[in-house]
């Protein structure tokens, strides 16, 4: 009888240990399931693949807004979203890759594309001179195109000169609105100037370094006194 009373506490202790282990095992599995559930809810679904863009195929470059101004020239000439620039860039790439005989057959179409591009570039010089400069052709590419097409392209300007603002003031009694314009004299050439950035803040700039592109007497001026030289 004494032996039975000794064994009983041991049995009760063993049962207690077993119950405690079972409780913590169940709690651990529940916590694991809750952790997995929270992880699954916090993980966003995978993004669907974007459809391939349609239209002209051009190489992708950095957007002009991320390019330092000193490196702006021709930085996006092959990656512009404007159709007239993109189609001409594609034609230029194909023309440079073609044989001499094939190039002769491509010339008339290139003139058509260059003419359409010229109209867009002329408007862009006035409305967004920075974008216009970014979309000019590299010098080395321009040099390889036919003379008829080069004549339709904007010209590079790089020299010292003056930029000044001409205030539009009508005569007394004249109710007309005369626009205020910017003018530039670079070397012996006079232009209607189009500025942006810091250079648009100062009305008169004398004997400064001027880089830009010009078309039909309109000059887009780079907002930097220095620029990176092109090959060619």
In a domain? residue 55: no
d(C-alpha 96, C-alpha 227), whole Å? 26
Average pLDDT over residues 214-232: 95
Domain membership flag for residue 51:
no
Give the per-residue pLDDT at 65: 80
CA dihedral 79, 84, 89, 90 (to 10 degrees): 100
Mean pLDDT of 141-155: 97
Residue 1, in any domain of the structure: no
Residue 124 in any domain: the answer is: yes
Is residue 216 a part of any domain in this protein?
yes
Look at residue 63 in the predicted model and tell me its pLDDT.
Answer: 66
Reported as a single tens digit per residue, the pLDDT across 50-75 is: 343 334 444 444 567 889 999 999 99
Q: Which domain holds residue 201?
A: 64-221
**106 inside domain:** yes
| Res 166 pLDDT > 80 | yes
Q: Is this prediction's pTM over 0.75?
A: no
Number of folded domains in the chain? 1
């Amino acid at each position: 009888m004494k032996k039975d009373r000794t064994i009983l506490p041991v049995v009760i202790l063993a049962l207690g240990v077993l119950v405690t282990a079972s409780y913590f095992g169940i709690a651990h599995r529940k916590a694991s399931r809750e952790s997995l559930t929270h992880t699954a809810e916090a993980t966003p679904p995978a993004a669907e693949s974007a459809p391939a863009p349609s239209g002209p195929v051009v190489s992708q470059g950095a957007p002009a807004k991320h390019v330092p101004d000193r490196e702006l020239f021709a930085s996006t000439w092959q990656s512009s979203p404007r159709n007239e620039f993109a189609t001409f860039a594609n034609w230029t790439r194909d023309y440079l890759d073609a044989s001499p005989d094939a190039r002769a057959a491509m010339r008339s179409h290139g003139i058509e594309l260059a003419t359409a591009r010229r109209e867009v570039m002329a408007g862009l010089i006035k409305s967004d001179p920075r974008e216009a400069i970014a979309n000019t052709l590299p010098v080395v590419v321009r040099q390889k195109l036919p003379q008829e097409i080069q004549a339709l392209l904007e010209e590079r300007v790089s020299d010292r000169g003056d930029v000044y603002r001409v205030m539009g003031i009508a005569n007394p009694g004249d109710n007309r609105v005369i626009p205020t314009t910017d003018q530039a004299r670079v070397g012996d050439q006079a232009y209607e100037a189009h500025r942006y950035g810091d250079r648009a803040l100062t009305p008169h700039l004398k004997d400064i370094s001027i880089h830009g592109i010009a078309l039909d007497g309109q000059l887009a001026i780079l907002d930097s006194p220095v620029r990176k030289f092109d090959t060619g």
